[in-house]
Each structure stands twice: as C-alpha cells, then as structure tokens.
Amino acid sequence: SGGWVPPAQAPDANSFVARTNTCGELRAAHVGQEVTLCGWIQYQRQGLFLVLRDFQGLTQLVIPQDEWSQVQTDRSAVRHVASEFLRYIGIPLQAHSHVRKLLSNAPVESVVRVTGIVSSRPPGQENAKMPTGDIEVKVETAEVLNFCKKLPFEIKDFIKKSEALRMQYRYLDLRSSQLQHNLRLRSHVVMRMREYLCNHHGFVDVETPTLFKRTPGGAKEFLVPSREVGKFYSLPQSPQQFKQLLMIGGLDRYFQVARCYRDEGSRPDRQPEFTQIDIEMSFVDQAGIQRLIEGLLQYSWPEERGPITTPFPSMTYEEALAAYGTDKPDTRFGMKIVDISDALRRWDVRFVQNVLSYPHGTAKAICIPQGVRYLKNKDVESLKEAAKSQFNQEIVDVICRPDGSLKSLLTKFLGEEQQSELKQVLNMQVDDVVLLAAGDHKRVCSALGSLRLESADLLEAAGVVLRDPTALHFLWVVDFPLFLPKEENPTELESAHHPFTAPHPLDTDLLYSDPAKVRSQHYDLVLNGNEIGGGSIRIHDAEQQRFVLEKVLKEDSEVLSHLLEALEFGAPPHGGIALGLDRLISLIVGSPSIRDVIAFPKSFKGRDLMGNAPEYVTPEELEPYHIHVSWPVAETEAKKN
C-alpha cells in the first residue's frame, strides 16, 4: 500500500479490507480461485442458493449440501494453514452442515462474509443479464456478521415505496442500485471537475467561512446565535463576498465545492442546504468564464451521458423572453412564441388595437402542432385558465379545421386574406391549435412561455415524442437587465441578481442617467430548460460599487463597508460563476428530484425524517446564547398583560 499508483489504474476497492473481491467483479477467468466476499443477502432459495449483494453487484453463492468440504484432499496443506488463521481471527473451520444452517436461516439483508471457490455455473444455468452470471461461488466457510430484523420495506428497485418511508429509513434506501449509482456518479463528476480546475488550470481550492454575518437583503439566511448577547452569525447563501475578497487578495483563481444555505420555508424540490461549484477568476471577461465552464463540463461529463459539444449557443435575455417567455428556455423543441403585433396592427382589430397602443403592448402566439388530435377540449380550457390565474392574461385559442378554415372568437374580426396571413405567420397546419395573447410584452411572453411548456407536457402525456430524453441543450443566456423594478414598489429598483454585478461595458454611461435600461455582465447557463448556473463579471471599482449601492439601490452600504474598502486597495477586474451541483447531477442521472442525488436530503418542509431534525432543546441549552423561544401561548399571555 502507499506509494504512487498510476492514475490510469482502476480504483482498488479491496485494499485494506478482509474481502478478496467485490460481489460485482468475479468472471469466468476467476474460476478455481478461493475468494472471500462480504455483503448483504439479497435472497436465498430453499437452502441451496444465495445471492450476495454489495455496492458493485450480485454474486450467486452455492450453499454446501454435504457434511464436509470435498476439496480437502488436494488442498489439505493450504486448508490447515487457513484453518489455523481462521481460528486465530475467531472463525473456526466449519462443518458444511453448520454453514448450510447459518446461511439458510439468515434473513435477507443480513450481512455475511463467505469464503469459497469460484466455479463455472453448470451449462445452461448461466445468466447473461448478470455480469457475474457465468460463475458461482461454492461456499466453504461463512460467518453472519449481523442479522437483519424484519424490514419496513423490501430493498428491491421494483418495489415502490412512499418517499416519506424512504426518507425515514434512508440508510435502507441508500442500498438501492439507483441511489448507489447516483452518489457514486456525483462523487466521480466532482472529482473530474477538481482535476480540471486544480490540475489543468491552476485553480486553488479555498474553503470560506459559513459562519458570517447577514448580507443586505439576505432575508433567506439562517441565523446562528452567538455567545455575545444579541449578536448572530448568518449562514451565507453563497461565498460571494469571500470569493471577491480572495481575488482582491491576489488568489487569482479560486474554486470551492461550497455548501450554501437558504431558508425559504417550505418549497418543493429545494433544500435548506445545497452545494454549488463556486468559481472566481481575476483578469477574466465573460467569454473567458464561458469557455472555462464549457471545458469543465466537457471534461467532467460522464461517458454514459456524453459527449457534449462546445461552445454552447448563446441568447440574450430579451431574445429568450421574446421567443420562449422565460430566461431559461427549453430549446429541445420548437413551438416558439411568434410576434403577430404587426399583422394585427395592420388589420385594425379594435380590441387588440387598444392593447397595442400601450408602451409595451404586444400580441403574440404559440402554435401547438396537431393540438386538435392530442389535446382534449378541457386541456385547452385549463391552459387558458392557468394563464388567467397565474399571469392575469386572457388567451384566445384558434383551431385550424380539416378544410383549412380557422375556428376562433377572433375570426369574426378577420377577413379570409387575414386568416390566411395569420396561418402563414404562425405556420399553422390542419389540426394545429394556436394560443394567442395580447397585452404587456413581459406578461404576454411569460404566460405563453408557461403555456408552451404545459402544452409540451400534455402532448408528451398523449404519446407525442417532443423532447429527446437523451438530448443535451446547453444555452448561455446573457445581457440580463442589471436592475429590475421592485415588485412591491415599481418606481424603485433592485438588483436583478446581486449588487456586485458589473454593468455591460456599452451601458456604463446609462448607469448614471437611466439605470433601469442598463444591461449587466451577468450570464446564466441553462440545460434543457433548467438553470444550472449563473455568474457575472463583478464591479471592481469602489466608486461604481458605492454608486450602485447608495444611489441606485438606496441600501445602507455600511454593512458592506469592508468590501467597499477592499475595492479601494487594488482590486483586480474579476468575475465568476456558480453551478448548482445538486440540479446538475439530477439532470445527468435523469432524476426528477434533487433529493435523489443527495445522501441525506431534507423533506420539502426542511425536516430530516430519519433523525427527526429540527428538534426541541431545553431552555438551559439556549441560555449561553441569550435567547428564548416566543411560544404562541406566552405571546397570548403577554398581550393580555
């Protein structure tokens, strides 16, 4: 052991332990070898056969039926030494009858260690579906290392269990081949990313603190009471400040597989703690970060899902919104949003005319191919209702009849030529359904973007092949606005991403004259309609940063005084990105939930169902932190007094 081992060699899974082989590796070439295996009893048949399982696979064991070993004669010398050794380590050489009894009576999922001889399976009994299906191991000695009591559910992939039960017994669920695969693949991908960043591109893996202080607007940060009365640490949502300070500290290239925290209360498929691949570089521009990430993903992408093509296509935020109604377009299928404002403006359709006269007034549509065949009437109705309830957006549907004529509320306002032009603009075929909306640009786009995805789900549920499940559509979305109007008060601005994002170099002057129009140097990475990363070139000028914080965002910059001061002491230009590791891995393994790629996830209510966290603590445990709980009853009492 020890010493340098060439990296090309496959990992040795049997070093330092009692077994000679895993349950997944024995082949015909091993026939005749004496092996020791450790694992869990997958099943047992009539005291004759047993299937042993470990993380790498299954091996069939033959339970001895005779009284003593038949191989005694030609292996007696070896056996003598072996028996002495076994006695020494506490395993007496066993009569076969004892081994048979032991293995026949051990319940499934008991842990056993067996030693035996690898043998070819009798002709005709090979199992081509099993990687070890050519061999079986004739057991000589066996030891039950731990008996398993009755299970709450069977550890078989085809048995469906409720997720709550799976999470309560997470350690049992972890034995499933799916979770074993997911966690091992995750480890492998992260290791490859580290090789790329550290070994190939000189990045430094730096750990940053998770006990820090509240950031401005950090309402979703967990608090950690300190022993100083009234003072709290905060668990940061990302190492943003630290990564920038590392650049100011001359680290040049930083990365971290960073644990981050976000207290959002109950949110489906979000976790209170999550992991991001956190990266920052000095003297880099937007293109530099993009090429780095493309290389990173290409290098770390698992073979089973590869290869991927670089560079990834790029789209501006405005283009994405206009064509897909979202900043994370799923470009695996068409059904893009089409602008029909010009046509409708020309045709003088009165009620649309009014909408189009507003500053951001627009009319747009999506065309659902063969919608008449695949969508039921109630589907179309529920799409329209969803647009109304979620976006307050009225939708008009248009159907193309078999004779080519259109059926819609709208048709009475349109002549035959106009209907024909509409069909042409939307590339409408017989049996297509068009959903049409008019109103504010952003609202119309968002509503149609949402309907586009819902229609796609409906079409796929009806059997249409729309999105290739093996397709990988990476996309950079760029040129985001730097600021957005605050939802609660649209006359004020807030950062679209965070206050450290640099303005687009062409829009720097606008920052001081019309900040709402400034585009940013933020970029998002999208995969198959999921945001898997985002980053930006940062402001490295103290004056500009102060202007953004104080004049545009009207924030108290005092809480960031350390960062503002740091920018005055020779801050290099810098930028970075963070990839959401949980989501990325779940997309790679094709799992709908990030909980399937996390060893011990929390429920959507933020609870650990296995260990039962969070939990009550005693008042004495709170004392050193100078806090106490405001129990609802106590509150009521307090109000009375």
CB-wise, 257 or 453, nearer to a copy of itself? 257
CB-wise, 152 or 404, nearer to a copy of itself? 152
The amino acid present at 257, given as its one-letter code, is V
Give the length of the chain: 641
For position 88 contacting a copy of itself by CB under 8 A, the verdict is no
For position 485 contacting a copy of itself by CB under 8 A, the verdict is no
* CA angle at 612 for the pair 608 and 616, rounded to the nearest 5°: 120
For position 412 contacting a copy of itself by CB under 8 A, the verdict is no
CB-wise, 66 or 207, nearer to a copy of itself? 207
CA 620, distance to chain mean position in Å, is 40
Scanning residues 236 to 255, which ones bind a copy of itself (CB under 8 A)?
241-242, 245-246, 248-253
Scanning residues 120 to 179, which ones bind a copy of itself (CB under 8 A)?
145-149, 151, 169-175, 179
CB-wise, 375 or 518, nearer to a copy of itself? 518
Q: How far is the CB of 164 from a copy of itself (least distance, A)?
A: 14
Cα–Cα distance between 593 and 587 in angstroms, integer?
9
Q: For the window 42-81, what string marks contact with a copy of itself as x by the rule CB under 8 A?
A: -----------xxx--------------------------
CB-wise, 232 or 547, nearer to a copy of itself? 232
Q: Which helix (H) or strand (E) holds 135?
A: strand 135-146
Scanning residues 499 to 558, which ones bind a copy of itself (CB under 8 A)?
505, 540-541
Q: Which of 474, 584, 486, 467 is nearest to 523 (CA)?
A: 474
For position 570 contacting a copy of itself by CB under 8 A, the verdict is yes
DSSP string, 570-599: TPPPEEEEEEEHHHHHHHHHT-S-GGGGSS
Scanning residues 191 to 220, which ones bind a copy of itself (CB under 8 A)?
191, 194-195, 198-214, 219
Binding a copy of itself by CB under 8 A: which of 69, 94, 238, 282? 282
Sort residue 492 into left (φ over 0), alpha (ψ -120 to 50) or beta.
beta
For position 471 contacting a copy of itself by CB under 8 A, the verdict is no
The number of beta carbons lying within 10 Å of the beta carbon of residue 421 is 16
Binding a copy of itself by CB under 8 A: which of 26, 117, 292, 447? 292
For position 604 contacting a copy of itself by CB under 8 A, the verdict is no
The amino acid present at 169, given as its one-letter code, is Y
CB-wise, 102 or 349, nearer to a copy of itself? 102
Scanning residues 262 to 281, which ones bind a copy of itself (CB under 8 A)?
263, 265, 272-273, 275, 281
In this structure, are residues 448 and 366 in contact, taking their beta carbons and an 8 Å threshold? yes
CB-wise, 242 or 333, nearer to a copy of itself? 242
CA 355, distance to chain mean position in Å, is 40
Q: How far is the CB of 146 from a copy of itself (least distance, A)?
A: 5
In this structure, are residues 317 and 481 in contact, taking their beta carbons and an 8 Å threshold? yes
In this structure, are residues 333 and 467 in contact, taking their beta carbons and an 8 Å threshold? yes
Q: How far is the CB of 625 from a copy of itself (least distance, A)?
A: 7
Task: Give the start-end residues of each E strand in 406-482.
Answer: 406-407, 433-440, 474-478
Cα–Cα distance between 25 and 125 in angstroms, integer?
19
Which DSSP state fits 558?
Answer: G
CB-wise, 67 or 84, nearer to a copy of itself? 84
